[in-house]
Amino acid sequence: MTQRIPVVENILNANDHLAQENHTRLESAGVFSINLMASPGAGKTSLIEQTLPRLKDKLRIAAIDGDIATSLDSDRAAAAGALSSIQINTGGNCHLDAVMLRGALDQLQLNQYDLLLVENVGNLVCPAEFKLGTHKSVLIASIPEGDDKPYKYPGMYRGVDALIINKIDLLPYVSFRMDFFQRGVESLNPGVITFPLSCRTGEGMDAWINWLLQNSTK
Amino acid sequence: MHELAVTQSILKIAIDHAEQANAKQITDLHIVMGELSSMVDDSIQFYWEIIAKDTIAQKAQLHFRRVPAELQCVICSEKYHPTNEELICPKCGNAGAKILSGEEFFLETIDVE
């Protein structure tokens, strides 16, 4: 005899639950944490490299880097001044999830840091679905990617707390309609805080650094 | 690409509930998916056939119910179903809206024997 069982359980519940545990750990250790997401080549590691020297005398910073393979990015974060730099190799997985972050947090003495930068796998689709438990999600868009990305990847643009627009020094050379881009962002994520900047020239970095400082020293 | 992890999660939730009910096998799963969710049902189906094998869910059929997206304009409070790529409000033309539905992704019911 067939019986119907009501379930009504969120399919990503297990991940969400672990993300909440990660969040509690970070919160009780007093670490402000961000999940940096972007497509490959948008400048996640460059942003970390440019952020660390500007903050390392003011904050104790750890970096966790997720990649399918290699430790190239965590090596760059360590060279730029991260006190600890941990590499997560996802072994083919297209995103970090809360279990992977928990494993990396286990390797850190969390109360020895003020700021944790988590660099997600380069991808504009999958990381949006998997919460990690960080305090803020930050998306890096970049000028050469094109101005249509909010329209093509709405899930990613909708869920973030801050948006960086990197490589603004390339605006004169690329057909990027800033008003079209920003209209897309505004429709998906009204009022999201935005930092246009260039990791190469340093233009616009101050606003981003101040935002991190304010949040990390609350 | 992340549908394998998601399909594993669906299987685990279904088996947990079926075992609690002392069921011998799962015949149907009813999954609710919002229009704004990035999950791909064909891909879930593909992984399902591989990972459900040799479990009490191996003969189960997957059923997907799509929930349309509904937005509400933050300026004029108009409720609407987005049709254009810019998601703009059809009444006042504003671009900012909050999502009322369309992001769902859950296992609603299972049928067991």
Provide the CATH number for the domain formed by A13-216 in this structure.
3.40.50.300
Measured distance CA(A162)–CA(A66) in Å, rounded? 20
Residue A126 is nearest to which of B2, B13, B23, comparing CB atoms?
B2
Q: pLDDT averaged over chain A?
A: 94
> How many domains would you assign to chain B?
1
**What is the distance, to the nearest Å, from the Cα of residue B18 to the centroid of all Cα atoms in its chain?**
20
The reply to whether B1 touches chain A by the CB within 8 Å rule is: yes
The reply to whether A3 touches chain B by the CB within 8 Å rule is: yes
Rounded average pLDDT over A16-20: 94
Rounded to two decimals, the ipTM of the complex is: 0.84
Rounded average pLDDT over A150-158: 90
Which domain CATH number covers B46? 3.30.2320.80
B66's tokens: 């799509």
Residues 109-168 of A with CB under 8 A from B: 123, 125-126, 128-130, 151, 154-155, 158
Rg of chain A over CA atoms, in angstroms?
Answer: 18
Element (H, E) at A207: helix A205-216
Which band of pLDDT confidence, cut at 50, 70 and 90, is reported for residue B19?
very high
Contact A127, A97 (CB under 8 A): no
Q: A197: how many CB neighbours lie within 10 A of its CB?
A: 25
pTM to 2 decimals? 0.87
CA distance A192 to chain B (A): 11
B27's tokens: 């015949």
**In the predicted model, is pLDDT for residue B93 greater than 90?**
no
Give the pLDDT confidence of A73-95 residue by residue, as tens digits: 889 999 998 999 999 988 878 88
Range of the domain at B93: 3-112
| More confident call, A143 vs A81 | A143
